[in-house]
């Protein structure tokens, strides 16, 4: 990072504005403000096995997310990649 560049969070705190407001104004002025990149964690073998197990148990996707400490979209994408199905949130099973 160059010495004249500040992270968006620092600029917004210094200016007492939201990050969105700082970005909008920077764009209007033709400046480039980069948001911090999202930290992505690799899937460990243990997490993949746990995902497979929870998929077989037909747990709701939001429960799976909480147990894995991952975002819903990340869990859905990994499940799709592995050919697993996850129970959508809010779906209840009816017994006959």
Closest CA to 88 of 67, 69, 63, 70: 63
The upper half-sphere exposure of residue 63, i.e. CA atoms within 13 Å in the direction of its Cβ, equals 14
Closest CA to 56 of 80, 81, 87: 87
* Average pLDDT value for the chain: 83
- Same domain, yes or no: 50 and 28: no
Residues 40, 31 contacting (CB under 8 angstroms):
no
| pLDDT band per the 50, 70, 90 thresholds, residue 11 | confident
pLDDT at 19: 86
**What pTM was computed for the model?**
0.54
The total of structural domains in the chain comes to 2
**Residue 3 located in a structural domain:** yes
**Residue 57 located in a structural domain:** yes
> Which residues span the domain enclosing 62?
45-82
**Mean local confidence (pLDDT), 10-15:** 88
Tens digit of each residue's pLDDT (9 = 90 or more) over 25-72: 988 998 876 666 667 788 999 999 999 999 999 899 999 999 999 999
Q: How many angstroms separate the CA atoms of 36 and 33, rounded? A: 10
Q: Which two tokens stand for residue 76?
A: 């859905």
């Amino acid at each position: 990072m160059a010495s004249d560049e500040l992270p968006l969070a620092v600029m917004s705190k210094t200016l007492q504005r939201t990050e969105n407001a700082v970005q909008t104004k920077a764009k209007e002025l033709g400046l480039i403000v980069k948001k911090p990149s999202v930290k992505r964690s690799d899937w460990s073998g243990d997490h993949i096995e746990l995902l497979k197990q929870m998929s077989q148990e037909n747990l709701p996707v939001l429960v799976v997310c909480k147990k894995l400490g991952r975002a819903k979209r990340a869990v859905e994408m990994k499940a799709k990649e592995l050919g697993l199905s996850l129970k959508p949130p809010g779906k209840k099973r009816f017994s006959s």
